[in-house]
Structures are given as C-alpha cells and as structure tokens.
Structure 1
C-alpha cells in the first residue's frame, strides 16, 4: 500500500523556495539533520510500521517545501529484518548482521513509499569517517544529492561493520553527519519528551529541561534509566550527540518522535522538547573532526608534568616525556595523548608510528636516529585538539 504525500509544488521542482499562505513556517534553518530511531521504525519488533513515520515524513516534506534541506539518519535495519528469521535462542553477531542486510531493504522501501521525490541510501561505518579523504567524499556525495533535491537517508552499515570500525549508535552518527553536511540544526527523535532531571518512568517529580546552555557532568548525570528495548542508544548517547553537534555550532533538539505535535511545534518555531544551544565559538572543522569523529588508533602516555603545562591550543613534548605507547598505529593516524594519571590532554595526528615511538622512548636505537626523529615533532600542531576538563 502506498502512503505517498503529494505536497510538492512546481516551484520546489524547479529548485525555488515555495511561498504559500497555506505553508507558513518559522524555520530559520538552511539544512537540518533528522535522526529517527528503531523504536519509531519498528515499534512492535515485527517489521517496519508507518505508525509514527507518517508525521515525520510530512514534516520532512514541509521543510523541503519551505526551502530547508533535510538529511535523514534512520536506524532500524536490525529491528526491521528480525521478523524474517526464526531465532528462538540468543542471536549471534552473524544473525544480527543478516537481519540488518534484510531489514535495510525493508526500511528504505518503507521510507521511499512515503515520498513523491527521490531518496538515496548512504551506508557508513566509522572507517568511512575515520579517513579524512573518505570523510570528504561523504560530504561531496551528500551535497550532490541535496543539490539535486534527493533526500539522503543515512544508516550505519551494520551488515558488514566490525567492532573496531563501527560508530555503535546512530545518535552519535547523526551528529557526525550534521557536522559533515554543515547543518544548522540537528533533531534527535526519542520516545520521551526530552531530557529530564531524572528518569521520568521512575521519578514522577522529574522535570523536563527546556533549554541546556552547556553539557557537563551534571547534565550527563541526568541520563539515567534503561536504554530502549528496540534500539542501541539511550539518553546518554543522545547527549553525546548533542555535545558533538553544539561544539560545531549546530543547534540541537531532543524531541518525542512518537508525537506528531512535536514536529508541528518545530515547524512553527517552537521548542517541543529540550533545546541545546550551540557554542558561541564553534570548533574549527578539522579540530572538530579530530575531536569528535576520528577515533584514536592508540595512546601516547606522557609524564604527569606535561599535563600541567598545556598552553591554550598548544601541547609540546619529546621522546623523553613518553612513559608508554599503547596500541599499534602508523604515521598519519589519530592518537590520544594522556598522562600517567589518566588525564586526557589531546587528540592529534601522529607523525611517527607506534613502533618508532616505542624505540625512541626506550632509547633502544642509535642516538643519531633519535636526534633525527626529534627534529620532527611527535604530533602535528596543525591537527591538534586540546581536550579540556577530561
């Protein structure tokens, strides 16, 4: 059965913004990323359902009619495909991957039937985001789709990804995508109204926070309660995503995706859930990528004194300051620099391999080689992200 909405005007087809008295909006955003979770895609764990998707689809269409571009990040492939498998016992990783492969087709078909404009599928892993050339390629592909009025639908490629190459949840993936496509706003759909001071399912006195200016430890402490029984992310991952997005200057909302009125409120310029305000001074793009998207391949542990002399955006040390090297990495990989006590100082691009740093730190190679390598800083100041209060 088809549920396609037919709200597209001739002006939108020609690439012009529609102005109509019947479609009034206070949307100030040029481009938004909308994240929809498994609980909305397959609420009964029995395949895809349009129960909650109709209101979301209508919101997307109205945004496009108003001239606001939309990128959809949609979970749900495993939940959508589970009905095709007879698995009474605990599901193995291989079975879940097979479910994702089957469910991805169903999920895309479910979204596609709701629109009368073309959609496109982007399946990503952390590995795609990890390498900057591939990250740039993702940006270029997304922009070409948007420029041709095609709705990009993004999901993690659960059918093929491994533990070391997966993001793990689509909340954080949506924030990475929002940064990649230069979004103005990130909207994360939940099954609750937003962030509460405590778990509202347990504490009836828990209050909804309408606005958050800074995400700190006290805010993360409010993300209590069990995760969704359907998806992989709870409120904690949504706060992590909000932290990533706001640090890039992206306004972020957590709203109740089960309620159509949430999207009516957003379209009218009102806040239906919790609004997270963006940083006054967003991180530069390459610093944001290192901080929030690129995963550290290893760690360089330095003596505690180095942690006391971090100067603004600068961090300097040599092989004599290295206490240990953890993991295996190559030149050009992202690494984490931390002290013996565990204080995280920075993420940066390493200009030496882990093997060479181990040899330099132990001074088990010729001094002339060490002196030569010391002429080349261990980390690049051009790709250094200082981690504050970590």
Structure 2
C-alpha cells in the first residue's frame, strides 16, 4: 500500500536525468529509521525498485547506506540517542550492520555485498586500489555492493552526514557517471523551507558557488546528522571529478518512480567538466614517483594505436622503488616507438620489485612468479594517459 503522504506532488518541475551507465545511490538514516527504533522498509522499498529497474536496463548501481547505528539502537535501546560514548555508538554500529544488510537483501534476488570503508582506506592509495578492485569485481559478478563507513573502528566522532562525502568518494572510486542522494526534502531551496515559507526550489545548479552553499540548512531529522550542507559539499567534490549529483526526495513515492523512468523532480547539480576529462586531467598532472617502467615497441603500438592496457609481456624492466598505487612514468628505450622516450604515465598495480620479476611474462604467469596477483594489467588503460 502506498503511503498517501508519498503521493504529494513535488514543487520541483520535471526535467530529464543525464545519461548514465554507473551510479552511486546514497541513502541516509532518515529514510531507513523506523519511528519506534530500528529500520523500516517503508521508503527503502521504492529505492530498491529504482535500483532494480536500472540494473535490468543494463546499468550498475552501488548503494552507500547509513542506518547501522539506528538499527543497533533497536537491539540495545538503553543506549541514549544523544551524547552516547564513542565506544557505545561503535558497538551499536557493529550490532546494526547485519540488520542493515538484511534490510537491503530482502528486496533483491541478486546477492548483496557489504563493503565497509574508512576515510583512511580511501586516502591510502594501495588500499584505495584494493577497494576499487573489489567493488568493480562485485559489479562484474552481478552483486549489489552496499557501502558504509566502518564506524566500529573509526577514530573520529561518528557523523552520519559524512556518508554524503563518502558517497562522493565512492562515486570517484568506481568511476560513476552520477551520484544520486536520496534525502527527506524535495531538493535544494533558496533557504530552509521548514523555516522560511518564501524559500524557492532550485531545479538546477550550474556551479556550486559560495552563494549556493549559503543556501544550505541544517539537519532535518534525529536519525542522521547530515544536513543539506554536507550534500552540497559532496556534490562539489563530485563536480570537480566530472560527476553530476542528483538530489531528490526519497520519501516521495511518485518522485522515486519517476526517477526510474529517467524523469527528475529535484535538483540537478552539474559537473564542471566531463568525467573522462576530469580523470585525464588528474592523470596528466598528478605528481609522479621516482622511477620508470620500461616497455618495448609492441607495447607502445598497443597503447597508442589500440588504447590498450599495459601488460607484463610488453615490459622490459623497471627502475626505482615505487610502490603499488603510485603514479609512474612509462618509457620506451631509444629507437623504439619512433625514438620517443616518454610514452605515458599511469597508476601502477604492481610495485617496481614485482614488475622486475614479471617483466616479459604472460599475465597468466603473474601468480606463479609472485605468489599473488592484482590482475593481469600492470597499468590499466583507465589509469593511464598518453604523453
């Protein structure tokens, strides 16, 4: 049965969604918390149907979901909602994670995978690459990743609003085209509509200026602490990476159903440039580590002519002591590739010491040579730029 409140018309005019192939959907605690404690499927069902409709259409979705602390509080209600000790809130998060994943799994026939991240995981380049490889593999296998901050080991004060910024980082991590943020209001207004009756809806934002950020209000519910400002900060981070952000009311059933049909009643925050252009710019200008990966003429031709990844078979050696996840220059020996020494730069999946051991080998022999492997590419084509 549809909640009559969910049939309320949106004050935001209809507009088309941007084309997308892969997206991150961020769902906050206010959409999952039950009035009496714990989690409720009331709004999650419609969002799950949105995900399913797009997966059936051949798209990919990663969910970033809050709600673990709210779920844990239903199991141990004696822990106070406000001012709880850090250890107690971490215990609630640990108790609630299983409940949160169980809530999402009930809506999908495909397997749901829990992925817990911390900001340290995303700042450390090697762990960042591990997380990206795991998420990409889960999507390839047809699973639905559900990401949450690993609050049980976080050393910072728990702020569920941080999941807005986490969602923007995950969108960059998986090379998403768009970031959907489901919230409990209709979109961005010129002022907080709950306090200012004259607040006007803002359907589109071309650039996130200081004036736009000033429109953000505070938190709207007791379940989460993320207000509109954290959502705009996340949108700003995504925009710099070429990712558009969509703000919409996850409590409005009509809005969510229209979203599954490519129609938005909410706010569209445009990216400053294309996703590809933003990534290529970063690859071209990020500082490189000391060291070089040396390649042969065949690898030069494959990378330049076919846009191929760099495989170990085309590598002749490596200088320096760079590590997995470092930005490294890729060169060919004098006389190869038309005599040009510098060919490309990219993020390496293997350390210099590993590359020296697998140089010239077939990708299938990597594990036999090293005892482990991070995939058949030394530098994936999405992680390199020709120079």
Same fold (TM over 0.5): yes
8 Å CA contact 2:151, 2:158 repeated in 1? no
> Cα deviations across residues 355-389 of structure 1 (Å, max 9, x unaligned)?
xxxxxxxxxxxxxxxxxxxxxxxxxxxxxxxxxxx
8 Å CA contact 2:242, 2:273 repeated in 1? yes
Q: 1:244 to 1:56 in 2, by over 3 A?
A: same
User: After superposition, where does 1:1-390 map in structure 2 within 5 Å?
Assistant: 28-44=19-35, 46-85=37-76, 86-88=78-80, 90-163=83-156, 169-280=162-273, 282-284=277-279, 287=282
8 Å CA contact 1:125, 1:165 repeated in 2? no
CA shift, 1:94, in A, is 0.8
CA shift, 1:95, in A, is 0.7
Q: Where do 4+ consecutive residues of structure 1 move more than 6 Å?
A: 164-168
Structure 1: distance between partners of 2:197 and 2:269: 23
Structure 2: distance between partners of 1:73 and 1:26: 20
- TM-score (norm: length of structure 2): 0.65
Q: 1:238 to 1:26 in 2, by over 3 A?
A: closer
Structure 1: distance between partners of 2:34 and 2:281: 38
CA shift, 1:164, in A, is 8.7
8 Å CA contact 2:165, 2:233 repeated in 1? yes
- TM-score (norm: length of structure 1): 0.65
8 Å CA contact 1:167, 1:173 repeated in 2? no
8 Å CA contact 2:17, 2:264 repeated in 1? no
CA shift, 1:26, in A, is 7.7
8 Å CA contact 2:161, 2:227 repeated in 1? no
Structure 2: distance between partners of 1:280 and 1:286: 10
> Cα deviations across residues 220-275 of structure 1 (Å, max 9, x unaligned)?
10002345321121100000010111111112101001112222222222221000
CA shift, 1:28, in A, is 2.6
8 Å CA contact 1:32, 1:184 repeated in 2? yes
Bigger drift between 184-193 and 35-44 goes to: 35-44
CA shift, 1:163, in A, is 1.5
Partner-residue secondary structure (3-state), 2:264: coil
> Cα deviations across residues 176-225 of structure 1 (Å, max 9, x unaligned)?
00011010111001100011000100111101100000001000100023
8 Å CA contact 1:81, 1:99 repeated in 2? yes
Alignment length (residue pairs)? 269
